[in-house]
Chain A
């Protein structure tokens, strides 16, 4: 199972204030631990939203609207992510729990989200198809 640990943006990260040496090395150490446990798949830090753009589709079927960053509401923005592969949700929570406070001055927030596995959707449609087939058989048996 894959999970993404999403680090929310802070006013500091939005202003390109680099983390303190202490926080930096805590992050380093944490990711080393992930790697040593064989669960780290990927990680990256994102530049502030001032470097980004937003594309929205306010009118269905209409032209998209492009807006340049920065965007307000730091908490709704992402400053980085860490992608892990673990055996259970509990294990993911445990790892997320060990993530260092990414801000250190009260704004730190991380979010843990499971990824859809590529199989999830097909398995579901497969099961649905099977269910439908069974229902049909039952219906037909009732008729006879």
Chain B
């Protein structure tokens, strides 16, 4: 194996093992920043030694053992030194060196979960949560994260440094919350994952309609979470929602890289494997929850589309009912807007327009391009083309996505002919 091959393999192994390493080390050291440093040290040792000794049979265990030894060294030194790491050194008394082997098995899932709860902690801003999670749990480099979000690398780097500092300053514990707190904290975790997914699924700015890396990372994280907390209905709900949405990734843009709306998509391009996985996750979610949460409800809506062989066969009545349920769980003008669309499909555009017109007074939807876009849609169906054109033009001025803007202006033009 050449040096470059070894490096690339080491990269792949890092990606597979880094979260587990960092999680276990954080449990030992109670500090995610030092844990990450030591995990990186172990990687550096691997990069030095593997080209010579060859890649070990169990590279994960090799990295873990190397990292743990370094952690133990670190704690010994910290103990001897002043009080700077006093607290860490104190914690180390509880730790025996034989634990190094024991940690390799069993509790990894728990540690990963603790780490997810830490990187998605409410003391951090939503942006910081996403960046830190991508870095520590998905093993992405700062560069990769920056590229996915189209922001400068230095901004991301700073965001991560600051996030770690906040975790330390606020003495955030490395624990899985229990009882009521678990539900709340878990919903923050799910929010972070879904935010990640959405950032990839529909870019908020720039010319790239889809940034697949973020979608894949979010999906992977969701799938991991579903394995380590298998009894939470909403976790499976979110996984289902992401699987089904991801099943349409390829149909969402045409060869000219323009977005294609759900009902215009070529359904033969939908990924049946992901749909099947999504429906299975939804079933698990429904079995676990007596009443469905917001993710499971959205997944159920997505499933209605996924199950319809043609747009005409969509069960809009069921979708309307699901949106009503969703509006009850998480009342929001955006849900209401979607309900309006479903109702117009189920019962006619004039019923939908009624709801949309009421929403026009909603201050939170001011500047939300989908409101005029949907209104335009309904007006076209009612044959009111002049009003529709104005709405599409208005929507076009509101979106930051260039492709979407083009699409809206095209629709405005269509109203003229």
B16 touches A91 (CB 8 A): yes
- Mask, B259-282, CB within 8 Å of A = 1, is 000000000010101000100000
- The residue on B at minimum CB distance from A1 is B216
B250 touches A119 (CB 8 A): yes
Main secondary structure of the interface of A (DSSP, over half): helix
Q: Which of A38, A42, A94, A122 contacts B223 (CB 8 A)?
A: A38
Q: Which of B5-13, B197-205, B300-308, B378-386 contacts A (4 or more CB under 8 A)?
A: B5-13
Q: Which of A36, A87, A122, A126 contacts B228 (CB 8 A)?
A: A36
- Mask, A33-68, CB within 8 Å of B = 1, is 001111111100000000000000000000000000
A87 touches B250 (CB 8 A): no
B255 touches A94 (CB 8 A): no
A35-B227, A37-B16 given as contacts; is B9 within 8 A of A94 (CB)?
A: yes
B228 touches A38 (CB 8 A): no
Task: Please tell me the size bucket of the interface on A.
Answer: 20 to 34
| A93 touches B (CB below 8 Å) | yes
Q: Which residues of chain B in 1-34 are interfacial with respect to chain A, using CB atoms and an 8 Å cutoff?
A: 8-9, 11-13, 15-16
Contacts of B9 in A (CB 8 A): 90, 93-94
| B51 touches A (CB below 8 Å) | no
| A137 touches B (CB below 8 Å) | no
- Mask, B217-231, CB within 8 Å of A = 1, is 001111110011000
- Mask, A82-100, CB within 8 Å of B = 1, is 0101011011011100000
Q: How many residues of chain B have a CB within 8 Å of chain A? A: 24
Main secondary structure of the interface of B (DSSP, over half): helix
B11 touches A88 (CB 8 A): yes
B228 touches A42 (CB 8 A): no
A35-B227, A36-B228, A93-B12 given as contacts; is B255 within 8 A of A122 (CB)?
A: yes
A41-B277, A85-B216 given as contacts; is B8 within 8 A of A90 (CB)?
A: yes
A42 touches B273 (CB 8 A): yes
| A17 touches B (CB below 8 Å) | no
B250 touches A38 (CB 8 A): no
Q: Which of B8, B222, B228, B250 contacts A88 (CB 8 A)?
A: B8
Smallest distance from the beta carbon of A34 to chain B beta carbons, Å? 10
Q: Which of A38, A42, A91 has the most CB of B within 10 A?
A: A38
Residues on A lying within 8 angstroms of B by beta carbon are 35-42, 83, 85, 87-88, 90-91, 93-95, 118-119, 122, 125-126
Q: Show 21 residue pairs from A and B whose CB-CB distance is below 8 angstroms, ordered by the A residue.
A: A35-B227, A36-B224, A36-B228, A37-B16, A37-B224, A38-B220, A38-B223, A38-B224, A38-B227, A40-B223, A41-B273, A85-B220, A87-B15, A87-B216, A88-B8, A88-B12, A90-B8, A90-B11, A91-B15, A118-B250, A122-B255
